[in-house]
Amino acid sequence: MFLPTTPKELDQLNWPKLDVILVTGDAYIDSPFIGVAIIGKVLVDKGFRVGIIAQPDMNSKTDISRLGEPDLFWGITGGCVDSMVANYTALKKRRKKDDYTPGGMNTRRPDRAVIAYSNLVRKYFKKTRPIVLGGIEASLRRVAHYDFWSNKMRRSILFDAKADYLLFGMAHSTIVKFATALKENKPPEVLNGVAFISKEKKGKELPSFEAVQKDKKDYIKSFHMFYQNNDPITAQRLCQQHNDRYLILNPPEPFSTTKELDHIHSLGFERDLHPFHKKAGTVRALDTIRFSIPTHYGCYGECNFCAISVHQGRTIRYRSEESIIKEAADISHLEDFKGYITDLGGPTANMYGFECKKKLKKGACLDKRCLFPSPCKSLAPDHSNYIRLIQKVEKLPGIKKVFISSGIRYDIILNDKKNGGAYLEKIVNDNVSGQLKIAPEHTMPHVLNLMGKQPVDLLLKFKWQFDALSKQSGKKQFLTYYLIAAHPGCRMNDMKELKKFTTQKLKVTPEQVQVFTPAPSTYSTLMYYTGLDPFSMTPLFVEKNPKEKEKQKKIVTVKSYKPYGKKGN
């Protein structure tokens, strides 16, 4: 069922009042890909009455008050994407389109949505139940952080939103424990995955907000400490002073087990836009996720420009074959299903089905990474489980084709000497819809090193294998290369070399090139703000001129652009 979003639905459920009201910056899509839908379903499964208010009108009480006031708490999320990333390009231009808004026009999501919605609740419900922040916008802004759009350090979003609590990470189990604690009048401050404000210092102390605001080296120190305390097995409680109060960050919640994930995905998602929103138009995001299946969470790629490791974690948690197969079978019975599973994957598709055994016992390593600068020997990648899963889903009645649309890591494929070749052959023959997404991001060694990406010789080796297998299968298939311009450390001449490489070695003019966006809680954003390599503390060139950023991108994307004109900076 859909979670209620109107008084009429409450009457139909015979719910006179709600325990929890969730407020989101996206239209309400009931899907296992949508965090607020998962949180709502998990709570309802445990007996709590939950409603959703999606994209409320900011200029009246009509939307925010239509479900009344909750008995336990308000849950506030900006949606599936940080609202500033959703609203503005990397060049700070206002986006006209929004894939999570009915009709597609970017007219419903306020800037800094988490803060805006918290203020909206406070405006019309003066002395109300606790306001609890969650979702990626809150999660990545939970400590003092650099904000690209205002070009300054900002406090933890808990302070700016004047909220009571913040649940960071996926919060699958924390949210139930939190709601239960409030219901039983017990203190939620003791729970893992919870952040709150205190007058007393509790835990390992990060440099204060005032210190990181004043000294960039203190900010680097703070970020290192924050990043290294994101694994639930090894993390300590952290605190950070903001004026005369302290932000308290409890250790992250333990990762969900396979059994727990299987249960979450059995909760009967509608895989559709709530009828309340349909009258306003279609939501483009639904086209991508309606017939797709999430197989796992987390990513140990740890690219320096990506925040997945801070939000979802560096440990892969995957669902069982039985759970995924059942979901595929359920999809096959949907009225408008045409036989095509549009994706069977996760943040990185081919991380399904295996993990480092040492990491599962002792937590993520603090002194090294799984894949960078080269794959760790303890990882032992094995694609056999993923191959078997794809084959089983393909055999289901009503399934014509299974596509792998999520990005893959080709270095993992090449490092799996036993099953990597078989996996690549399988997807090339059966599971590529014309183009396979990969993300080399750049080709210059010093830029790749700053990104935390693998060397370019692996890209060429993978391309050769992919092209050979595609030719052997008699199919015209291509690799889609995701690239980044204006990353810290990248100069104009580096983009000229990238253009030369794509033209001569890859034989393409790339289309998927984006200007680096300094989103909160990534190492690359730390580099952008400080102008320092945070690992060596050496100065970096950082392009901050919007016109020059755009030039870097055009060097690669414009076919007629001459890569060897005037000397770059």
CA atoms within 13 A of residue 142's CA, in its CB half-sphere: 33
The residue behind tokens 């399988």 is 426
Helix axes 35-45, 174-183, angle to 10 degrees: 50
Q: What CA–CA distance (Å, rounded) separates 105 from 102? A: 7
Answer whether 345's CB lies under 8 Å from 409's CB: no
> Tokens for 430?
């059966």
Answer whether 384's CB lies under 8 Å from 459's CB: no
Q: What CA–CA distance (Å, rounded) separates 569 from 494? A: 10
Q: What CA–CA distance (Å, rounded) separates 465 from 471? A: 10
> Tokens for 193?
């995955």
Q: What CA–CA distance (Å, rounded) separates 507 from 437? A: 16
Q: What is the DSSP letter of 235?
A: P
Q: How far is CA 91 from CA 483, 486, 487, 550, 551, in A?
A: 16, 11, 13, 8, 12
DSSP-derived 3-state class of residue 160:
helix
Answer whether 371's CB lies under 8 Å from 409's CB: yes
The residue behind tokens 């830029």 is 447
Peptide bond into 373 cis (omega under 30): yes
CB contact set of 223 (below 8 Å; sequence gap of 6+): 523, 526, 534
- Tally of CB atoms within 10 A around 378: 12
> Tokens for 321?
């074959």
Q: Is residue 376 annotated as involved in ligand binding?
A: no
Q: What CA–CA distance (Å, rounded) separates 7 from 24? A: 18
Report the length, in residues, of the chain.
569
Q: Is residue 239 annotated as involved in ligand binding?
A: no
CA atoms within 13 A of residue 46's CA, in its CB half-sphere: 19
> Tokens for 436?
């396979």
How many Å from the N-terminal Cα to the C-terminal Cα in the chain?
Answer: 57
Q: Is residue 306 annotated as involved in ligand binding?
A: yes
Q: Give the ranges where 431-565 is alpha helix by DSSP (H).
A: 445-451, 456-473, 492-501, 523-530, 546-557
- Residues of each annotated binding site: 299, 303, 306
- Residues of each annotated binding site for [4Fe-4S] cluster: 299, 303, 306
